[in-house]
Chains A and B, each alone.
Chain A
């Protein structure tokens, strides 16, 4: 089922949490609502669920039908809470069966149908063996899977997950993420999940909705929001980025001690511009193999993990972080205090007038 949100605004006692925006979620997509805390992402999710109501004028539509005034119980949504919210006095089986048992008598499945359905769902979340356990006897990851099975029991038209992995430790998070992705491919129910973890959003979702201060900054595939960020906020939020003040004139740009070419010439000569570089945008070497290589001192080398992160201080002032492969590290022999040269391979830039960052690659040949 598709979800449409129209002119959605929400204030709490004069404080504006959502500033009035539209959002469309096509049928069957897995969408991440991503943003820092206080961006309004959870409020948006709860309004879609019917746990909160928008300010006058805002509307929520399911498959084109206006459900703004429908109570949460009428919307047939599956909601998964960050802290699971399992019924502590019921065992796993009864937790999952709850949504079926509270139906009006005429709509309630028979006992054998309930059992079949619950066991099917427990198989789906790989917890059949735990059907008679209490929630308190389960691990965090298992509890969250019970919560998911419980939400799926009512055949929800939409699945809404509020920071579903927020309370879990790193390894279980990873596992559950991949598992949620797989589950979504199996059942294909329109799903929205809230997260403040950009890695989680980029890894799991079909599309990412970036929220900041109650506004939508950008909506797009993980690839699009990462590689073509629509605003400086998105650039800064999706991973580490170093920012430099510089100028563009014609087709050339300058920031720090680097000279770069820009593809779209800027009309006003000598306009101030801001340049953004991610750790993988840098080229790093012990020799100045590029005409605008800048000399720097290595402050720190973090070599734990698949990628080596090198923190550098430029001789001309300013710091940046560059990345290396594990294979290159012994070749360069870098460690804290080493001398190195650094130059940009690619970058994003924008001026005050353009607003939207442009991606560029430096094609200039090595010296």
Chain B
């Protein structure tokens, strides 16, 4: 491997590396540094004071709640969908695979609007929900639904190709040895896909914490009640409260960094065990 075997000149290699690094620096590292610089501009005390706001704490709590519901829901859906797609032949399978990718193709704002159309006061189910005193839109359920919608491809997309590649022979072998369906899942399937599953969960969690568009539409921006962290940042920014806005934003940025490190660790561990395709 290397320059000589591939045959391109040294200056080309240097140029490509410089381009990549320059691009990364300009579009990723500089903004990231700016977030922290802005957040700490008025000192560490002002930075910490930004989190002393009940609205900020409520936003953090709501975001964590939404993620805590969306991620497990995603795991269940992802396992079910990938099992069905990898193990069975049925009509409409390719349609299902396409549909799983839909949230990637559709603008999150549209996803939010669809929920408003369905569950809003003027929506299809609005009257029924109002009659039963249930509120979805401009409330926590709507935020959770929107978060689930935008994140649901993550786990399934990690698992489907892996399960298809691994096949079902190990599961059949477990069955011949007398294992029950649950034992097959628990002792064979889950360990086989655990790294891919973990990887999908990390990505899904990152998206759940950071989702803006879809949540923005269904939230109603009620401070302290239906604001998630990204929405809270926007409000602070619009109020020219830059230090607080960037301080809260730095929290999300920090989470993103943790996610990247976790992802790298998972990839490393998976490669070492040869468990990820």
Residue of B nearest to A50 (CB): B176
Contact residues, B163-199 vs A (CB, 8 A): 169-170, 172-180, 183, 187-188, 191-192
**A303 nearest CB across to chain B (Å):** 43
> Which A residues are CB-close (under 8 A) to B188?
87
Count of chain A residues with Cβ under 8 Å from any Cβ of B?
Answer: 28
Expressed in whole angstroms, the minimum distance between the Cβ of B266 and any Cβ of chain A is 15
CA distance A77 to B187 in the complex (A): 20
A67 proximal to B (CB < 8 A): no
Provide the bound-state CA to CA distance between A226 and B140, in Å: 77
**Residues of A close to B273: CB separation below 8 A:** 89
Q: Is the pair A73, B179 in contact by a Cβ cutoff of 8 Å? A: yes
CB distance from B162 to the nearest CB of A (A): 12
Q: Which of A72, A103, A147 contacts B175 (CB 8 A)?
A: A72
B-side contacts of A72, CB under 8 Å? 172, 175-176
Q: What's the minimum C-beta distance from A307 to chain B, rounded to whole angstroms?
A: 39
B274 proximal to A (CB < 8 A): yes
A102 touches B183 (CB 8 A): yes
Taking the complex as formed, is A136 at the interface, i.e. its CB lies under 8 A from any CB of chain B?
yes
B275 close to A (CB within 8 Å)? yes
Cβ proximity bits A72-114 to B, threshold 8 Å, 1 near / 0 not:
1110111101010111111000000011001100000000000
A301 within 8 A of partner (CB): no
Q: B275 contacts A154, CB within 8 Å?
A: no
Given A89-B275, A102-B178, A150-B177: A83 touches B187 (CB 8 Å cut-off): no
- Looking at the complex, which one of B170, B176, B178, B192 makes contact with A51 (CB distance below 8 Å)? B176
B274 touches A85 (CB 8 A): no
**Do the beta carbons of B175 and A86 come within 8 Å of each other?**
no
Q: For the complex, give the distance between the alpha carbons of A90 and B174 in Å.
A: 12
Please tell me if the beta carbons of A89 and B176 are within 8 angstroms of each other in the complex: no
Check A49 against B176 for contact (C-beta < 8 Å).
yes
Does chain B have a CB within 8 A of A119?
Answer: no
Tell which of A77, A81, A89, A153 touches B169, judged by Cβ atoms closer than 8 Å: A81
B residues in contact with A99, CB < 8 Å: 177-179
Question: Chain A nearest CB: distance from B34 CB in Å?
Answer: 44
With beta carbons under 8 angstroms apart, the residue of A73, A90, A103, A136 that contacts B176 is A73
B170-A79 in contact (CB<8A): no
Q: A214 CA to B183 CA in the complex, in Å?
A: 35
A86 & B170 in contact (Cβ 8 Å cutoff) = yes
Contacts of A31 in B (CB 8 A): none
Candidate in B178, B179, B192, B275 with the most chain A CB atoms within 10 angstroms: B178
A122 vs B39: C-alpha distance when bound (angstroms): 63
Q: Which of A138-166 contact B (CB under 8 A)?
A: 147, 150-151, 153-154
Residue in B173, B187, B274, B275 whose beta carbon sits within 8 Å of that of A79 in the complex = B173
Complex alpha-carbon distance, A81 and B172, angstroms: 9
Complex-state Cα separation, A89 to B189, whole angstroms: 10
A248-288 contacts to B, CB under 8 A, are none
A79 closest partner in B (C-beta): B176
**Given A89-B191, A136-B274, also A81-B173 (CB < 8 A):** yes
Q: Within the assembled complex, what's the spacing in Å between the Cα atoms of A79 and B274?
A: 26
Tell me which residues across on chain B come within 8 A of A151, comparing CB atoms: 176-177
B195 CB, nearest partner CB in chain A, Å: 10
Supposing A89-B275, A98-B187 touch, asked if A83 and B177 sit within 8 A by C-beta, the answer is no
Min C-beta distance of B272 to chain A, whole Å: 12
Contacts of A73 in B (CB 8 A): 175-180
Cα–Cα, bound, A76→B179 (Å): 11
CA distance A9 to B202 in the complex (A): 49
Partner of A154, one of B169, B172, B178, B180: B178
Q: Would A88 and B170 count as touching, CB distance under 8 A?
A: yes
Query: B274 contacts which chain A residues (CB < 8 A)?
Result: 88, 136
Residues from chain A with a CB closer than 8 A to the CB of B179 are: 73, 98-99, 102
Question: Contacts A98-B187, A102-B183, A136-B274 hold; do A85 and B178 have CB atoms under 8 A apart?
Answer: no
Contacts of B177 in A (CB 8 A): 73, 98-99, 102, 150-151, 153-154
Q: CB < 8 Å: which of B172, B180, B187, B275 contacts A85?
A: B172
Chain B neighbourhood of A76, CB < 8 A = 178
Give the one of A102, A103, A153 with max B CB within 10 A. Answer: A102
Contacts of B172 in A (CB 8 A): 51, 72, 79, 81, 85
Q: Of A78, A85, A103, A136, which contacts B170 at CB under 8 A?
A: A85
- What B residues does A81 contact at CB under 8 A? 169, 172-173
Chain A residues near B173: list those with CB within 8 A.
79, 81, 85-87, 147, 150
- The distance in angstroms between the C-alpha atoms of A278 and B238, with both chains bound, is 93
> Smallest Cβ distance from A3 to chain B, in angstroms?
16
What's the nearest-Cβ distance from chain B to residue A60, in Å? 15
Closest B residue to A89 by CB, please name it. Answer: B191
Taking the nearest CB of chain A, how far is it from the CB of B49, in angstroms? Answer: 49
Closest chain-A Cβ to B194's Cβ sits at a distance in Å of: 8
A42-78 with Cβ < 8 A to chain B: 49, 51, 71-74, 76-78
Closest to B193 in A: A89
Given contacts A98-B187, A102-B183, A102-B187, contact A85 B169 (CB under 8 A): yes
A-B pairs with beta carbons under 8 Å apart, 28 shown: A49-B176, A72-B175, A73-B176, A73-B177, A73-B178, A73-B179, A73-B180, A74-B178, A78-B176, A79-B172, A79-B173, A81-B169, A81-B173, A83-B169, A85-B169, A85-B170, A85-B172, A86-B170, A87-B173, A87-B174, A88-B275, A90-B191, A102-B179, A102-B180, A102-B187, A151-B176, A151-B177, A154-B178
Give me 18 other A-B pairs in contact (C-beta within 8 A), A72-B176, A87-B188, A102-B177 excluded. Answer: A49-B176, A51-B172, A73-B178, A81-B169, A83-B169, A85-B169, A86-B170, A86-B173, A87-B174, A89-B273, A90-B191, A98-B187, A99-B177, A102-B180, A102-B187, A103-B178, A150-B173, A154-B178
List A residues at the B interface (Cβ < 8 Å): 49, 51, 71-74, 76-79, 81, 83, 85-90, 98-99, 102-103, 136, 147, 150-151, 153-154
